[in-house]
Chains A and B, each alone.
Chain A
Amino acid sequence: MATIATSLNIATQRAVITSKRQPARLACPVRLNNPWNLGSRTTNRLVSFRPVKATPEGVISDKVEKSIKDAEETCAGDPVSGECVAAWDEVEELSAAASHARDKKKDSDPLEEYCKDNPETNECRTYDN
């Protein structure tokens, strides 16, 4: 049961990672990861993936880049003004946030994330006895 779940996870990986709280939904027709008919998978193009939204790290990275440009522009005028200092402080804050987001992403495992919110589903059952 678990292996089917993980292989389905791989097949629809993009959809799982980008969706916030919905479990992985399969687009019809259901595609099983059976090696004997892998060849036929590429011929059927009815499957369409959910459009990929900008990931949170992408959002923060864009903000970092933009804030650096802003800071350089502000400071080109007057390097010791309060605005210049505040602009570079903003760069620092956003860089820290970006680095935290990267660390969080590095640690996170999509299956663990899903199971934290939905421990009663089949994929997340644990049998300890």
Chain B
Amino acid sequence: MAVSTIYSTQALNSTHFFTSSSSSKQVFFYRRQTNRRFNTIITCAAQQTVVIGLAADSGCGKSTFMRRLTSVFGGAAEPPKGGNPDSNTLISDMTTVICLDDYHSLDRTGRKEKGVTALDPRANDFDLMYEQVKALKSGIAVEKPIYNHVTGLLDAPELIQPPKILVIEGLHPMFDERVRDLLDFSIYLDISNEVKFAWKIQRDMAERGHSLESIKASIEARKPDFDAFIDPQKQYADAVIEVLPTQLIPDDNEGKVLRVRLIMKEGVKYFSPVYLFDEGSTVSWIPCGRKLTCSYPGIKFNYAPDSYFDHEVSVVEMDGQFDRLDELIYVESHLSNLSTKFYGEVTQQMLKHADFPGSNNGTGLFQTIVGLKIRDLYEQLIANKETAPAEAAKA
């Protein structure tokens, strides 16, 4: 988005580039007007890129979240046309999604030789990650390497243009402190072990060669590295979506009904947490009753302020499943601070992607809500950056 402000000033003899304190590139154009006594200078601020970080273990719903997020902004995200078909990057009108696996410093054979997993920081080039994210944030295009998941090799780089919204998703978006400081908003998908096991079974049982034991062994083997390197990132996240087994069905081992908690950090700039009924109080709500009939096991909501890794947070929790459209709209009408542009927007977004996994429970609901919050954050950030140069001009 380009912002132009027009200044009038006395004789200025040269054109030059000038970087203002709000870290935007401003270009001065000098034009001599013979019929006017003063010269007009037009300045344009380069587009501001908003950077969002999304962290989750493999197989935990990052792609679904990405599709929901890009859909909130409009348009479908697709791999870059005409490029490497195994590229992990997704580009839509407003957003570009970069997969942090592209910053692996060791390819698959390299990792096997050294005996490290992809979760290990030794397998990732954080310096390059920081350089390129910083460049994209300042509006400079970069040549980003491609990690090919099929062959396990690092392919030739692809050119990435700076987008309006840059999403970096992967295992380590918040691991490196410098990259963490570049993020405007960060999300962590925290899936409990039982749910992770159930999801991986659903994903992998259709594969030839996999058995229950191999899936279990794979999770167990990765767990130490995961707990050491990936899990600690959740303390830095602005929003954590925690997925746990349900409490509504005693001794449930199917894992179909989920309890999902949206943990939102208080005091984050441009981010106002969602609340139920009364901000800051503890509310427990079962919407099913006289006005709404739900089938077993029903829906249960909780909202409470809490403390998470020594931060003040607000937690909205949903346990259960949506069976019908009117349940969804009923719930939406009672949640506050959703940052929707019109009544029913959350429901509309959920219905648009009814075939995505999690569309009938809290995962889809909270992912959609976080998507709307990010849109709200983006609009506020842009509005703020626009007013800042104008104020500097007045001063």
Contacts from A to B (Cβ < 8 Å) = 56, 59-61, 63-66, 68-69, 71-72, 75, 81-100, 102-103
Cross-interface CB contact of A86 among B59, B112, B150, B200, cutoff 8 Å: B112
Q: Given contacts A93-B58, A93-B149, A97-B150, list 7 more A-B pairs with CB under 8 A.
A: A63-B150, A64-B209, A66-B209, A72-B214, A89-B117, A96-B149, A103-B63
Can you give 27 A-B contacts (C-beta < 8 A)?
A: A63-B150, A64-B208, A64-B209, A69-B209, A72-B214, A75-B217, A85-B117, A86-B112, A88-B221, A89-B222, A89-B225, A90-B108, A91-B214, A92-B58, A92-B218, A92-B222, A93-B149, A95-B200, A95-B203, A95-B210, A96-B59, A97-B150, A98-B207, A99-B203, A99-B204, A100-B63, A102-B206
Min CB–CB distance B145 → chain A (angstroms) = 17
Q: How far is the CA of A99 from the CA of B200 in the complex (A)?
A: 10
Q: B203: which A residues are within 8 A, CB to CB?
A: 95-96, 99
Q: At the interface, yes or no: B83 with Cβ under 8 Å from chain A?
A: no
Contact A87:B63 (CB < 8 A) given known A64-B210, A96-B58: no
Considering the complex, give the chain A residue whose CB is closest to the CB of B110.
Answer: A86
Q: Is the CB of B217 within 8 A of A71?
A: yes
Q: Is the CB of B108 within 8 A of A64?
A: no
Cross-interface CB contact of B118 among A69, A89, A102, cutoff 8 Å: A89
Q: How far is the CA of A95 from the CA of B207 in the complex (A)?
A: 8
User: Which residues of B (205-239) have their CB < 8 Å from a CB of A?
Assistant: 206-210, 214, 217-218, 221-222, 224-225
Q: Is the CB of A85 within 8 A of B225?
A: yes
The 5 A-B pairs with the shortest beta carbon distances in the complex, nearest first, are A82-B115, A65-B209, A88-B221, A89-B117, A97-B149
Q: Is the CB of B209 within 8 A of A88?
A: no
Q: B153: which A residues are within 8 A, CB to CB?
A: none
Min CB–CB distance B85 → chain A (angstroms) = 9
Q: At the interface, yes or no: B100 with Cβ under 8 Å from chain A?
A: no
Q: Is the CB of B112 within 8 A of A61?
A: no
Q: A97: which B residues are within 8 A, CB to CB?
A: 149-150
- For B108, B210, B218, the residue with the greatest tally of chain A CB atoms inside 10 Å of its CB is B218
Min CB–CB distance A92 → chain B (angstroms) = 5
Q: How far is the CA of A81 from the CA of B73 in the complex (A)?
A: 45
Q: How far is the CA of A40 from the CA of B209 in the complex (A)?
A: 44
Q: Is the CB of B209 within 8 A of A89?
A: no
Contact with A along B146-169 (1 / 0, CB 8 A): 000110100000000000000000
Q: How far is the CA of A100 from the CA of B365 in the complex (A)?
A: 23
- For B108, B117, B225, the residue with the greatest tally of chain A CB atoms inside 10 Å of its CB is B117
Q: Is the CB of B221 within 8 A of A81?
A: no
Q: Is the CB of B111 within 8 A of A86?
A: yes
Q: How far is the CA of A42 from the CA of B292 in the complex (A)?
A: 60
Contact A68:B209 (CB < 8 A) given known A59-B150, A91-B218: yes
Q: A81: which B residues are within 8 A, CB to CB?
A: 115
Q: How far is the CA of A125 from the CA of B224 in the complex (A)?
A: 55
Q: B218: which A residues are within 8 A, CB to CB?
A: 71, 88-89, 91-92, 95
Contact A89:B111 (CB < 8 A) given known A59-B150, A71-B217, A72-B214: yes
Considering the complex, give the chain A residue whose CB is closest to the CB of B57.
Answer: A92
Q: A88: which B residues are within 8 A, CB to CB?
A: 217-218, 221-222
Q: How far is the CA of A82 from the CA of B152 in the complex (A)?
A: 18
- For A86, A94, A96, A103, the residue with the greatest tally of chain B CB atoms inside 10 Å of its CB is A86
Q: How far is the CA of A92 from the CA of B221 in the complex (A)?
A: 10
Q: Is the CB of A84 within 8 A of B150?
A: no
Q: How far is the CA of A95 from the CA of B209 in the complex (A)?
A: 10
Min CB–CB distance B233 → chain A (angstroms) = 18
